Amino acid sequence: MFRDRVIVICISGLSGTGGMDGIRDKLHEVFVPHGVNPDNIFRRSWNKENESDPSAEPWVDDLNREINRRTELPTYLAIIGHSYGGWAACRLSKVTNRVPDFVALIDPVFGPDNIFNQNQDYPRGNLIRNWYQTNSPVFVDPCTGIKIPCTREVGLHCGYSNVPGAHENIEEAKKRNWWGNHERTSCPGGRKHEPTSHIDIDSDQWIWRQISNQIYYDIIELKQKYVIKSVRDDKYLSIKNDKIYLEKTTQIKRSHVFTLEHLGYNDYVIKASNEKYVSAEDDPNFAIYLSSSIGVPQIFNFQPFGRNVYAIKASNTEYLTIKKDQLHQFPNLTNLSYFEFIPLK
């Protein structure tokens, strides 16, 4: 419905893509079947022209341009960044047209001295999570345990463990698979856990899973607010006294706002601004009312007929249809049965 303008940018760090191509591909696998444009889930370097130069700064204009090239008005925006890509994610979050819905930082490093600049680096977003490790900058041999330690609490190649502005800072000391089970390696004397390191923490599939789950909740199970317009009459649905009417207006009011709650596939319940649900219960006048309860009469199947345009079929197989500027139910589709759903920011 609004998923064609969902944007997820995965920002890789210093000297290569690391696991960011992998998380991009996994997000394609999860979300493209749900209608997200695959081109809108993409990877970009933290600094395309100087990605191997630790003294450079994030090329924020390039990253923001890549978002705007796809859409200047995202309906959902997630920014994911590892290492210097996490640094870039923080700075990018401050300048995007839409306040990011989700910022995911993976062991972020803020420049060669790893010093967080409160003015430039403080991230902006509705939800900001930071996954970090304190084991080593590079791969750790699980059998010997030999590692190059992080010489400072937050060193050059060990990410920032407590990012200001983050809602959660989550330590991931051991590698885990998609299901959350610890990865193990066969060693003399038995199998041992594989420690995370800065260089490969962005390939940790458990972190991928947590990021994917959050985006899934946000865009698939999202309770998105809309105004609903009759395609033929160019009027908006509005509630009054537990009924739904058409109203010609240029000013959107609270009575025009509806929330969709996704139940699965193309099934939704529709909640009005008074916290009651659109209901296709049996009525001799075939009127549509608002109900305080949720049950079978409150479940509707959305059938697409164009960009953001739907016919809405009730569980009793009747279609929501306009009659004398009021919402009714009717057994057949007519030109008064099509509605445009306009998402609110």
Class of 224-343 in CATH: mainly beta
> CB-based contacts of 310: which residues, under 8 Å, 6+ apart?
1, 302, 303, 304, 338, 339, 341
State pTM to two decimals. Answer: 0.67
pLDDT averaged over the chain?
90
In whole angstroms, how far apart are CA 150 and each of 134, 140, 157, 197, 201? 7, 12, 8, 10, 15
Looking at the predicted structure, is the pLDDT value of residue 343 above 80? yes
Bridge-based pairing state of the strands 6-12 and 41-45: parallel
Over the stretch 261-313, which tens digit does the pLDDT of each residue have? 877 667 888 999 898 999 998 776 788 999 998 888 999 999 988 878 999 99
Cα separation, 100 vs 123, in Å, equals: 10
Confidence of residue 155 (pLDDT cuts 50, 70, 90): very low
Q: Which two tokens stand for residue 138?
A: 């590079």
> What does the domain layout of the chain look like in residue ranges?
3-219, 224-343
CA 112 to CA 114: how far, in whole Å?
6
What mean pLDDT do residues 325-341 have? 93
Asked if the 3-219 domain carries CATH number 3.40.50.1820, the reply is yes
> Sign of dihedral through CA atoms 73, 164, 209, 14?
positive
pLDDT at residue 164 is higher than 80: yes
